[in-house]
Structure 1
Amino acid sequence: MTALIEADRLLDVLETETTLLAAATVGADPDRPVPGCPGLTAGETARHLGSVYRMALTWIRTGDRPTRWQRQPLDGEPLEHYLRDGLRALLGELESHPPDASCPTWHPENQTYGFWRRRMAHEATVHRIDVQGAVGEPITPVPEDVAVDGVDEVLTLWFTHRLAVLGVSGTRATTVAVRTAGHTWLAEVTTDRTTASPAPLLSAESAAATVTGPPQELYLWLWGRSAVFSSAVEREGDLDALTQLWALLRLATR
């Protein structure tokens, strides 16, 4: 659950990605659909991100999971302003505390400001790509170190922790090795639990299936953006194991 990149770098990512997303909303049709995400539009995605920033800030400051916060722009407020205002408030809070300082979060084993730095950086990155794709802008590449950290976060936070919270497990026991840029994770599924963690290359050789791809493409494939980024992701081995991994990830990250 520890980020693979520096905590201050995550703040830079959060600011850069939100700035790109906010700029993409200017003059764009908010009803344009997000590629690969049926029913989701550019405007809904931007509003969601601005809302998540305010939710996180409220959670940090009150110490409890919030039930009320500003979920929508004010009447007449441009989406760009809603996003930028939410970003400034959240960045100010995160920058004013060391990443290892105690802070309430939704992960019982990581109650630190660092959790929110990482979570919000990847929330912004994935949704920035959603909005750029929806409005027809060229997709700004995700830096390799950010994408590799994103792969780790999807697997160790969402696939491992989130599914446990939901009480979801597999229909049969299997393993899938996930590989990119010299890193390997082993995703294990049983009828009781799902777990994923970094693994030595040799320990993953016996996996039933393997998913391999460049960091950006694999990162976004794991997040379900398969309609746009699946062609560079190679899947080999047990088809049932691969199908189960994909289905569980969709439940974990929805």
Structure 2
Amino acid sequence: MREAIDIHADALKRAALEAGPTAPVRNCPKWTVHDLVAHIGFVHGLAVSLAVNRPVKPVPPSGWDDLLGWWDGHRLALREALARNPGTPWGRRMAHETAIHRLDAESALEDVPKTRFSPEFANDGIDEFLTFLVPQRGLTIGVRITTPERTWTVGTPETEVAGAADDVYRALYGRPNNASVTGDRLPAV
């Protein structure tokens, strides 16, 4: 998962630099690119502190150049922490957190790239959503999720989500998608 973090963090940074700090993030209407980079830097820093069992709350600097450097530092520290602690669940969590926020950074561009995630990665993200995020956030859901490769059923399904793994992955994380969603609305994460 470290490689996935690097790939998606690099793409996120390219999009952030191209869009600029004041560009609005279409996928997250209340955020600018500056807000997005501050968030991902905070999350990467928090994951480092949890992976090495020294919980702290990182505080992002306000200036754009300082913020980018601060995030780069957390990215490197995350890479090292995950190399030292390969069994930690934070590698998987950060790979998907970074991939989803890559889409957000790309949504701030005038010409949004047609990024697609592989079925393997997207299905892993769906599983991570259901087995980690839903319980961690204390959400109660009843859902059946179907991709060409796999089906998940959680509780008594009141919602059904189906489609290509990439689209279902995006639907679960509340990003633009072409998945079929029937029944109750999915919880926001």
TM-score by length of 1: 0.67
SS of the aligned residue for 1:146 comes to helix
Question: Aligned in 2, Cα 1:37/1:209: closer, same or farther, shift over 3 Å?
Answer: same
Deviation, 1:60, is 2.9
1:220-239 deviation per Cα after TM superposition (whole angstroms, max 9, x unaligned): 110011xx21xx21134xx3
In the alignment, the residues of structure 2 paired with residue 140 and residue 169 of structure 1 have an alpha-carbon distance, to the nearest angstrom, of 31
Aligned to 2:14: 23
Q: Deviations over 1:198-235 (max 9, x none)?
A: xxxxxxxxx5552101111110110011xx21xx2113
What residue in structure 2 maps to residue 149 of structure 1? 124
> CA 1:34–1:144 in structure 2 vs 1: closer, same or farther (change >3 Å)?
same
Which 5+ residue runs of structure 2 have no aligned equivalent? none
- Match in the other structure for 2:179: 233
Give the CA deviation at 1:78: 4.9
Contact 1:45 1:127 survives alignment (8 Å)? yes
Cα contact 1:212–1:218 (8 A) shared by 2? yes
- How many pairs align? 188
**C-alpha offsets along residues 39-75 of structure 1, whole Å, 9 cap, x if unaligned?**
12222111111111112212333x2542x42x21475
Q: Matched residues in 2 for 1:85 and 1:135: separation?
A: 25
Alignment partners' CA distance in 2, 1:58 and 1:163? 20
Gaps of 5+ in 1: 1-9, 100-112, 190-206
Whole-Å separation in 2 of the counterparts to 1:74 and 1:32 = 16
The reply on whether 1:211 has 2:161 as its aligned counterpart is yes
The aligned residue for residue 83 of structure 2 is 95
In structure 1, what residue type is equivalent to 2:46? M
Match of 2:70 among 82, 105, 110: 82
Structure 1 runs of 4+ with >6 Å offset: none
How much has 1:23 moved relative to structure 2? 1.4
The 1:163/1:54 distance shift into structure 2, 3 A limit, reads: closer
Report Cα offsets for 1:123-149 as digits up to 9, x if no partner. Answer: 100001100111234142212211110
- The one-letter code sitting in structure 1 at the alignment partner of 2:83 is E
TM-score by length of 2: 0.87
Rg: which structure is higher? 1
Structure 1: how far apart are the matches of 2:140 and 2:159? 18
Q: In structure 2, how many angstroms separate the alpha carbons of the residues matched to 1:27 and 1:208?
A: 41
Structure 2 residue aligned with 1:181:
148
Cα RMSD, aligned residues only: 2.2
Partner Cα separation in structure 1 for residue 75 and residue 18 of structure 2: 20
Opposite residue 60 of structure 2, the aligned amino acid is: Q
Q: Is 2:42 aligned against 1:54?
A: no
Query: Between the two proteins, what is the percent identity of the paired residues?
Result: 26
Instruction: Verify the 8 A CA contact 2:9 2:98 in the aligned structure 1.
Output: yes
